[in-house]
Structure 1
Amino acid sequence: MSMTELDPRGLIRESYRIEGISGPECRSIFLDWALGAVAGADLKVQIAALLAHYSDAFPDHPMTQVLREGLADAAPGKRRGGRKARLER
């Protein structure tokens, strides 16, 4: 997959060009990118390709960190309550 196919709107590319961008701003850009990612393709494969492309040139950039976090497995959800939890005491 080419960079144009992975990042058709150039969101990730532009985030690397913004001087002084912060982690929360990168997370917001990443979420926008993920919502518009190529349908039907494995998101982790796409993230890995972006990381491979940008991480060597920008190892300490906040977007590189966000992409690394995007590859990590999500923590399992926890039950937060409800009727059953209250009755099982």
Structure 2
Amino acid sequence: MRSLKGDTLDPKGLVAEAYKIDGITPAECRSIFLDWALNLQGDSKEALTVLLNRHGNDDHPMTQVMREGLTASERPRRRGGWRSRERP
């Protein structure tokens, strides 16, 4: 079994390998993405932007998963608070 080597943005080379797999499904890409995200050291938004520029093939399911991850990585805004739950 060969060892996957990557760089600081793709430490295990998972994203690069996903693009080499013929017939990979979106579900498999999400699983790879989760493993990648758990092993990433640093800013995921920056890393995703670079990886999309490096690998982004519009027809590939990994591209769609990474784009979704880029959108989801934006910080959610807090809405409400204790005052909004207070009864009149």
Report the TM-score, using the length of structure 2 for normalisation: 0.73
Matches within 5 A, 1:34-73: 34-38=37-41, 41-55=42-56, 58-73=57-72
- Structure 2's unaligned 5+ residue stretches are 1-5, 77-86
- Structure 1's unaligned 5+ residue stretches are 77-87
Aligned length: 73
Task: List structure 1 runs of 4+ shifted beyond 6 angstroms.
Answer: none
Report the TM-score, using the length of structure 1 for normalisation: 0.72
RCO comparison, higher one (Cα < 8 Å, 6+): 1
After superposition, the CA RMSD in angstroms is: 2.1
1:28 to 28, 31, 35: 31
Identical pairs, percent = 52
Provide the residue aligned with 2:84 in structure 1.
none
